[in-house]
């Protein structure tokens, strides 16, 4: 099977979506105080490290995804179309939202790297930017087409189905986290210590 530059860029983009999805799910598990030792698989497993590693993979894939387009012949992308794709060839709106997702992911990763110097309150503010980054990433991924020419989106394409599965997982997990946060906010002060989520200072996102 022949894989061209556009196909390769699309595959890398799917890797970014997968890495962001896994990272957010692991972060939500931390909020629920999940312990792989107490629960399944009942073994000591440092998923904080996996969580951090997925963050860097997501950033790398998000950067590589548009840079590969510079090697494509038709449509031809220039560096300005990558940095500011408002006038890029093919799907400029979707590409602009994709660039926004990349910039937001970069902010989250860099701020997490310097979280000790920023302090927990400031870092947490940057931390929640990942939800906006994910929204922009899913918008871009669902509405772009691999060949940059087609007008309509093939919703039965394997890549689109994968993205929709990831979106469903993140949406369901995010809803559970929101409900938990709401329950904690409404709990009596005495019960906060028992239900409060753990510190996430050791995580990347």
Per residue in 64-113, pLDDT tens?
A: 999 999 999 888 999 999 999 999 888 899 999 999 999 999 999 998 88
**Residue 201 confidence (pLDDT) above 50:** no
C-alpha to C-alpha distance for 63 and 61, rounded to whole angstroms: 5
47: pLDDT confidence band, cut at 50, 70 and 90? confident
Average pLDDT of the segment spanning 139-161: 89
**Residue 119 confidence (pLDDT) above 50:** yes
How would you label 7-32 residue by residue, b for 16+ Cβ within 10 Å and e otherwise? ebbbebbbbbbbbbbbbbbbbbbbbe
pLDDT at site 152: 86
More confident residue, 13 or 43: 13
pLDDT at site 188: 63
198: pLDDT confidence band, cut at 50, 70 and 90? very low
The domain segmentation of the chain, as residue ranges, is 5-195
C-alpha to C-alpha distance for 58 and 14, rounded to whole angstroms: 10
179: pLDDT confidence band, cut at 50, 70 and 90? confident
**Residue 3 confidence (pLDDT) above 70:** no
For the whole model, what pTM was predicted? 0.84
């Amino acid at each position: 099977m022949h894989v061209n530059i556009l196909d390769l860029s699309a595959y890398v983009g799917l890797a970014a979506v997968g890495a962001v999805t896994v990272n957010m799910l692991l972060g939500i598990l931390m909020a629920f105080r999940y312990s792989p030792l107490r629960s399944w698989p009942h073994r000591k497993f440092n998923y904080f490290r996996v969580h951090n590693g997925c963050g860097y993979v997501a950033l790398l894939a998000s950067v590589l995804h548009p840079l590969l387009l510079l090697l494509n012949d038709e449509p031809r992308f220039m560096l300005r179309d990558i940095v500011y794709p408002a006038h890029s060839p093919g799907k400029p709106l979707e590409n602009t939202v994709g660039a926004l997702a990349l910039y937001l992911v970069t902010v989250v990763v860099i701020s997490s790297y310097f979280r000790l110097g920023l302090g927990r309150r400031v870092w947490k503010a940057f931390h929640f930017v990942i939800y906006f980054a994910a929204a922009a990433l899913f918008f871009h991924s669902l509405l772009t087409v691999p060949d940059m020419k087609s007008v309509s989106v093939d919703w039965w394409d394997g890549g689109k189905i994968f993205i929709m599965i990831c979106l469903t997982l993140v949406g369901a997990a995010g809803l559970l986290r929101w409900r938990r946060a709401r329950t904690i906010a409404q709990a009596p002060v005495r019960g906060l210590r028992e239900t409060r989520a753990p510190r996430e200072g050791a995580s990347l996102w």
